[in-house]
Amino acid sequence: MIKSQMELLVSLQDLDLMIEEAYEVEKFGFPTTGCDELKKAREELASRISKPFLFRYKRLREKLKRAIVPVKNDICLGCFLKQPTSVGTRAREDDQIFTCENCGRILYWLE
Amino acid sequence: MKKVNLVAHFNEQLFKTDLKATDKQGILEELVNLIVENKFIRNSEIVLEMVRQREKLGSTGIGKGVAIPHGRTTATSEVIIAFGRTDTPVDFDAIDKKPVNLFFMVIAPPNDSENTYLPILGTLVTTLSHAETRKKLTHVQSYQEFLGIFTEKIYD
């Protein structure tokens, strides 16, 4: 069960990308008749996320298709800028939003 | 759609011919756990949530005993493919209503720079549409043998 706000936000983006890409996978023969059900699940998930988190995500999604990007070896995989190690340490401990100073995307540390 | 060399994306640690689960949810959990236990992904909850929700869009059981659960998640930085097989086919709500024994789980990052995710899905669907390939996968014993199935033929 997902508990943290940051993880819920990551899951929300996963669903948004899934909904956007449904047409692409349909071409391979995967049925997509449950799109409305998936959108309902997306709204239910969104209702579990605090307003400040959701607001920042929505604002970024207006500009960027991928508002949240993974960070690997302290590198933002949105713009490939190295993030300060201290930020990574805090991000792993605190359920807060940390953004890349260069590209502005929300960061999710993989390790 | 460009064809992809699937072999380059397989990994021996993610090859399991004796899945134990007996239902759809169990299969999804077992494959996600295989990926997490082998440290390809850290957070199992996020990935499990994504593949479960994906099944709401429509079953990834594409018929003829094959399922390809898939999706993008921010919890990975690379495309991951896990292969699993059950001895006894499992009800996976497949489009032909038949039980499934061959599973390929494909997990991709939100943005894969080489744009391989969709071509991987397409290549898997095409390759697995061949009855001979499915038959070989049903009996494959070793990882090397498994790789051989995907290298011996170039499909149109």
Strands (E), B40-98: 61-63, 66-67, 70-72, 80-90
The pLDDT tens digits of the residues spanning B96-143 come to 999 999 999 999 999 876 789 999 999 999 999 999 999 999 999 999
Q: Is beta strand B66-67 parallel, antiparallel or unpaired with respect to B15-19?
A: unpaired
- Tell me which residue of B73, B66, B133 sits closest to B94, measured CA to CA: B66
- State the average pLDDT for chain B: 94
User: Could you tell me if A108 lies within 8 Å of chain B, comparing CB atoms?
Assistant: yes
Q: Give the pLDDT confidence score for residue A95 in this predicted structure.
A: 86
Q: In DSSP terms, which residues pair with B66 in a beta bridge?
A: B63, B102
Domains and CATH numbers, chain A: 5-109 (1.10.287.1490)
pLDDT at B8: 94
Provide mean pLDDT across the span B65-86.
97
Question: Which of chain A's residues have a Cβ under 8 Å away from the Cβ of B121?
Answer: 25, 28
Residues of chain B in contact with residue A21, where contact means CB-CB under 8 angstroms, are 72, 118
As a whole number of angstroms, the distance between CA B12 and CA A101 comes to: 38
- The whole-number average pLDDT for the span B140-156 is 84
Task: Establish whether B70 is a catalytic residue.
Answer: yes
pLDDT at B155 over 60: no
pTM, full prediction:
0.94
The answer to whether residues A34 and B57 touch, using CB atoms and an 8 Å cutoff, is yes
Q: What is the pLDDT of residue B153?
A: 60
Residue ranges of domains in chain B, CATH in brackets: 6-151 (3.40.930.10)
Task: For residue A106, list its beta bridge partners.
Answer: A68, A99
pLDDT tens for each residue of A59-111: 999 999 899 999 999 999 999 999 998 888 888 888 899 999 999 999 999 98
In this complex, is the C-beta atom of B93 within 8 Å of any C-beta atom belonging to chain A?
no
B74 in contact with A, Cβ within 8 Å: yes
> Does the beta-carbon distance from B73 to A14 stay under 8 Å?
yes
ipTM value, please give it.
Answer: 0.92
**CA-wise closest residue to A62 among A54, A50, A51, A73:** A54
Picking from A30, A95, A106 by the largest number of B CB atoms within 10 A of its own CB, the best residue to mutate is A30
Q: What residue has token string 């390939």?
A: B133
Cα(A52)–Cα(B66) distance, integer angstroms? 42
Closest by alpha carbon to A11, among B55, B68, B43? Answer: B43
